[in-house]
């Protein structure tokens, strides 16, 4: 039956940035669909763990700063202690630094590009090598942005990194689709999370963004749950290299 295609029972999912915002919502969604979720974050995932445990779901966490040089190795080592298979990788963790392009330091530029772009590649490569290739199956979901398609204002490194995510998603999909590994992305619109706190407290920007969203409201973390389950599940086995916008119609304008 069609709803069975969406079930994730018996699957293990790794989600980066699982302690807050969209990563927390994605973790809860995958757990509700039946997956064992391993949340990766630099801070405690206590709240996410509690919400999943309350639903009788299965959650473990790995605490690691993804900026550390051996982060991918630590994740691999600790994951292997928790499970002998990984079926889903959600590359969600990301940072945004808002400043005029003329003031961006090389350090700020590198920090954003490393976490939002380089580490997404490194972790995908490492999980694919260790789990997806031997299993001949796997799902990768990268978190893109409206700024994968548009320039944005005062966030040049973020825009560059999120634009790269769309390209990387296609590049990996082209190489790995034949191995039964589906690589796709979700591009959230303007969502009410920490990532947009600064924007939402600027009443002028906040109002102009709201006026441009056809749905007439900012997105909530839970709005992304359905897309995450779909792209993690058997239901999307013939979907490759695609970036799905969950944006209240923003890109349609
Ligand atoms: P958020 O700031 O709440 O989440 C960011 C997550 O990344 C947090 O869990 C944080 O702990 C993690 N993280 C950051 N640096 C890390 C590091 N060095 N090591 C480990 N973890 C680290 O905001 P969010 O909106 O939930 O963002 C999640 C993703 O969604 C990001 O990739 C963001 O760019 C993207 N996104 C958000 C929006 C939005 O409107 N909120 C829109 C488009 C894309």
Mean pLDDT of the chain: 97
How far apart are the CA of 4 and the centre of ligand 1, in A? Answer: 30
How far apart are the CA of 56 and the centre of ligand 1, in A? Answer: 26
| 133: confidence class by pLDDT, cuts 50, 70, 90 | very high
- DSSP structure class, residue 44: -
Task: Determine the atom of ligand 1 nearest the C-alpha atom of 93.
Answer: 7
Tens-place pLDDT, residues 54-76: 999 999 999 999 999 999 999 99
- How far is the C-alpha of 21 from the C-alpha of 214, rounded, in Å? 22
Which of 19, 21, 145, 158 is the best mutation target for the ligand 1 pocket, counting ligand atoms within 8 Å of the beta carbon and taking the most? Answer: 21
| 10: confidence class by pLDDT, cuts 50, 70, 90 | very high
How far apart are the CA of 134 and the centre of ligand 1, in A? Answer: 30
**Beta-carbon contacts of residue 100 (< 8 Å; ≥ 6 apart):** 154
SS (H, E, C) 190-250: CECCHHHHHHHHCHHHHHHHHHHCCCCCCECHHHHHHHHHHHHCHHHCCCCCCEEEECCCH
Mean pLDDT of 189-210: 94
Tens-place pLDDT, residues 164-198: 999 999 999 999 999 999 999 999 999 999 999 99
How far apart are the CA of 213 and the centre of ligand 1, in A? Answer: 21
- How far is the C-alpha of 87 from the C-alpha of 85, rounded, in Å? 7
Beta bridge partner(s), residue 217: none
> What's the pLDDT score for residue 173?
98
Q: Smallest Cα–Cα separation from 15: which of 75, 99, 103, 98? A: 75
What is 2-252's CATH topology?
A: Rossmann fold (3.40.50)
> What's the pLDDT score for residue 55?
94
Active site includes 158?
yes
> What's the pLDDT score for residue 234?
98
Q: Token digits for 196?
A: 């947009």
| 44: confidence class by pLDDT, cuts 50, 70, 90 | very high
Q: Are 213 and 191 in contact (CB under 8 A)?
A: no
- Packing angle of the helix pair 119-127, 156-176 (nearest 10 deg): 20
Q: Ligand 1: residues within 6 Å at CB?
A: 17, 19-23, 41-43, 65-67, 92-96, 115, 143, 145, 188, 190-191, 193-196
Tens-place pLDDT, residues 94-131: 999 999 999 999 999 999 999 999 999 999 999 999 99
């Amino acid at each position: 039956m069609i709803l069975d295609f969406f079930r994730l029972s018996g699957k293990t999912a790794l989600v980066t940035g699982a302690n807050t915002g969209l990563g927390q919502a994605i973790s809860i969604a995958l757990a509700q669909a039946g997956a064992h979720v391993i949340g990766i974050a630099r801070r405690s995932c206590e709240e996410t763990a509690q919400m999943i445990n309350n639903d009788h779901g299965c959650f473990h966490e790995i605490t690691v700063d993804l900026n550390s040089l051996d982060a991918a190795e630590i994740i691999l080592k600790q994951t292997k202690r928790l499970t002998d298979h990984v079926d889903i990788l959600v590359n969600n963790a990301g940072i945004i630094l808002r400043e005029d392009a003329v003031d961006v330091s090389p350090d700020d530029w590198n920090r954003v590009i490393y976490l939002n772009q380089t580490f997404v590649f490194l972790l995908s490569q490492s999980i694919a090598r260790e789990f997806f290739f031997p299993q001949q199956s796997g799902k990768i979901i990268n978190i893109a942005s409206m700024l994968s398609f548009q320039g944005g204002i005062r966030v040049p490194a973020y825009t560059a990194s999120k634009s790269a995510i769309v390209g990387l998603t296609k590049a990996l999909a082209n190489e790995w689709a034949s191995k039964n590994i589906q690589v796709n992305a979700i591009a959230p619109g303007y969502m009410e999370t920490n990532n947009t706190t600064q924007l939402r407290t600027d009443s002028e920007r906040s109002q102009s963004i709201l006026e441009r969203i056809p749905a007439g409201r900012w997105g909530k973390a839970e709005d992304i749950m359905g897309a995450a389950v779909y792209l993690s599940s058997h239901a999307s086995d013939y979907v490759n290299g695609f970036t799905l916008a969950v944006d209240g119609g923003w890109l349609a304008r």
